[in-house]
Amino acid sequence: MGRLPDELILEILEYYKEDWEQILSLCSVCSKWRNVAINSSVLWSNILLPCPAQIYKLLRDRSKSSPLEISISWDALLEGHEEAGLRQAGQCLRELAPRISWLRIYWNPTANDPRPIQPFLSTYAGRNEFTQLKYLDLVAPATSPETISPLNMPSLETLRFAAPLSCIPQSINHITQLELDCFEPQLFDILISLAKFPLVEHLYIDNIQPPDDDDDEQDKPIVSLRNLRTLSVDDIHPEDMEVMLQHLEIPPSAFINWGVREPREEPSLRVSLERIFGSRMSSCNGFHISDEQLPSCSYQLPCSFTQTIKSKNGGFFSVSYQDIKQDVESAALQKLSTYPTDLSMFDWQLPWLPSLSILVNILTSWSSLTHIRICTDKDEFERLLSALEETPDIVCPVLEGLDCTGTRFSGVRMKYFLDFRHTNCRTLRELKISRGNASPPLEDFEPFVGKLIEVEDGYLSNWRECVGQTWVSI
């Protein structure tokens, strides 16, 4: 063990840097390990408060001038000694304030000691400047009644707030990332709170409850979030999506992702989603369906189906569902295809496809498609080829590229399809496939396609790769 290079020893030690007891244990391996640990200040920069005074001083001193990650947890208080533990944690917080870059306060008092968080923060944080603080995570119970007093955190970038909206801290309206988990807040209460953060770029909300029946939408102001790049809401009804969007002024290039947990076949939900997506079809040029979410989302929602449209302005509008039925989704997709659109890219990444008749209707409606990207089961893929071979009118007459990376298929069947398009003067410019996913000889394809591209198995060029207005998945 002592022969390992310092760099490797440090890498091993950093794996345990959030556990000071484990670090101390590894220091006893040999003198070399101890020296590497003692001289690596970052290993000692995670401090859980309250903690024994001797341990606190050890971590404080060995971390030297490194930025600190501090957690204050109610669970770390000794039963019967809560007051002393909070006092010690507060005094340490006050001392370390200029060095803290990451701070989490988990305030979860018992029913027998329901003290609010505000006096603690006012006493130990209110008058201090947290010069280096970038990330603040505040967790407080739903019963917390008071607004948190102003906090001096000039460099704060991210606030994660899991407490009643009425308690949200003041004077930190310069943050660029806001994560809210606020005990089933109502829609308009959320909007009122968002007005306090005009510079936010990334916004994540755990769930939103419908407004009260007596709330008048006309009386509610429009909230301007002109810097917003990402909006993600975990649980919301589509009717409330519309209301929220009507009261938000956001850039058309923003990534918007909604999570829906209600049954997809519920009538009001189905009608609302059709209206929401349909109204945007005329301004979009890409449509994606899969069992994944947008990569921009920090919160990955549990979902089995995601619909995403890409606007001509570069923005994404996405809705994710937990449970779906194939017949319901197929019918909804057929209905959506009746809306006027200049769609140029269609990306399907699910193991099933709609029936042949529905697929033909959809692709016929989307006559402006130039690129199709598909990853599905082998038999389902052949159904797509059959849809694209419908006559007398050629389906997708301006189709230029087909990307089926990740999909296994019959080489004979593919050759027939390519020959059909070529014979009808609709030759594909580009076909992209995964190496080994089709039976040879692939050279039989070359007379019927402009360019054949093979990629290694496991590579999925997909809808995530987009530059400006162009989808480059094929």
Q: Which two tokens stand for residue 14?
A: 């950093």
pLDDT in tens, the chain (474 residues): 557 788 888 888 888 777 777 888 878 778 888 888 888 888 889 999 999 999 999 999 999 999 999 999 988 887 778 889 999 999 999 999 999 999 999 988 876 777 888 888 888 987 889 999 999 999 988 766 667 878 899 999 999 998 888 888 878 889 999 999 887 778 888 988 899 999 999 999 987 887 776 666 667 789 999 999 999 998 888 888 888 888 999 999 999 998 886 655 566 666 778 888 998 999 999 999 987 754 444 445 555 688 899 999 889 999 887 766 788 788 888 999 999 999 999 999 999 999 999 999 999 999 999 999 999 999 999 999 999 999 888 999 999 999 999 999 999 999 999 999 999 999 999 999 998 887 767 778 888 999 999 888 654 444 444 333 333 332
Residue 148 near residue 169, CB atoms below 8 Å: yes
**b vs e for 156-190, b when ≥16 Cβ sit within 10 Å of the residue's Cβ?**
bbbbbbbbbbebbbeebeebbbbbbbbbebbbbbb
Q: Where are the domains of the chain?
A: 351-474
Angle between helices 378-387 and 356-365 (to 10 degrees): 50
Is the separation of the CB atoms in 8 and 32 below 8 Å? no
